[in-house]
Amino acid sequence: MTRILEPGQIEAFAERAVPRIRLPGPEGPFTSRARRLRQLAAPGAPGQAIADYLQLIAAIADAQARAVADFRPAAPTADETARTRAHRMPVVHAGSWARLPAWRGLLLKISASVAASPAGTPAVRELDRRLRGFTVKELEAQADALLATRASEIDVAAAPFLMSALQVHWVALARQLKADDVAPLDVPGVCPVCGTLPVASIVRSDEGSQGYRYLHCALCATEWHMVRVTCTQCQNNENLGYHSIEGSSGAVRAESCDSCHTYRKILYQEKDADVEPVADDLASLALDLLMTDAGYQRGSGNPLLWQKP
C-beta neighbour count of 39 within 10 angstroms: 19
Q: Which CATH class is domain 29-179?
A: alpha beta
Across the chain, which distance is largest between two alpha carbons, in Å? 71
Res. 122 pLDDT band, cuts 50 70 90: very high
Percent of the chain with pLDDT over 90: 90
**Domain boundaries of the chain, sorted by first residue:** 29-179, 184-298
29-179 shares its CATH topology with 184-298? yes
Where are the strands (E) in 24-169, listed by range? none
Question: How does pLDDT run across 170-226, given as a tens digit for each residue?
Answer: 999 999 999 999 999 999 999 999 999 999 999 999 887 889 999 999 999 999 999
Per-residue pLDDT at 5: 38
Q: Does the structure show a pLDDT above 50 at 64?
A: yes
- Of the two residues 104 and 209, the one the predictor is more confident about is 104
Give phi and psi for 116, each to the nearest 5: -90, -5
Residues 174/56/114/129 CA torsion (nearest 10 deg): -110
Q: Which CATH class is domain 184-298?
A: alpha beta
Rounded Cα distance, 191 and 305, in Å: 20
**In this predicted structure, what is the pLDDT of residue 1?**
36
pLDDT of residue 16: 55
pLDDT digits (tens, 9 = 90+) for 29-38: 999 999 999 9
